[in-house]
Amino acid sequence: MLSKDFKEIFTAEMISITGGVLAGAMLAFYVDELILIPGMMILFPGYLEMRNAISGSMVSRLGSALHMGTTTPYVKGNKFAAENIAAVFILSLVVAFVLAAIAYGATYFIFHQSTLKIFLIALIAVIISNLIENMISLYTTFWLFRKGHDPNNIMGPYITTIGDIISVGGLVIATTVVLWL
């Protein structure tokens, strides 16, 4: 008979694979818009990895705090959760700016093309992604814990998949908005 942990991890991995295909399909559908801005293909992989690493760290900290009893599985009045959300938001903004600077510099020095729009795209995308992904991460982690599941088994693959989908969507929306300006 399969253990509870195995079932949780297996289900999370299956959701992760399915979501990865969805994020890839969405990216393939909008790739023509994304390549209009010089540096987007340099920014994109780092941006996705940054979002997943930061959100993954947050849900790991929340899961550990829940297991140790240092926080409660409720959002209202949860100082630990609020501090983590604020830290994730600030860190994401700083890293997005650095990634945009790297993409800008690489396209300028290698291809002799550049646009400052890459900074605006990165910042708009990270704000959109943070607003959606952080709330999903927080509420899902607490909900799983309250239902008797181990968030550390489920949230890693789940949040990277949700993060990929939301991050691709955020970049597409940000690119579309900036191209219309």
Per-residue pLDDT tens digits for 135-150: 999 999 999 999 998 8
**96-137 pLDDT, tens digit each:** 999 999 999 999 998 888 789 999 999 999 999 999 999 999
| pLDDT value of position 22 | 84
Residue in this structure with the two tokens 């999903």, named with its chain if needed: 136
Q: Assign a CATH topology to domain 21-180.
A: Tetracycline Repressor; domain 2 (1.10.357)
Question: Who wins on pLDDT, 95 or 11?
Answer: 95
In this structure, the number of other CB atoms found within 10 A of the CB of residue 19 comes to 18
Residue in this structure with the two tokens 């990277």, named with its chain if needed: 160
Q: Is the dihedral of CA 23, 25, 30, 36 positive or negative?
A: positive
In this structure, the number of other CB atoms found within 10 A of the CB of residue 83 comes to 11
- pTM, full prediction: 0.86
**6-15 pLDDT, tens digit each:** 888 888 888 8
| d(C-alpha 70, C-alpha 119), whole Å | 38
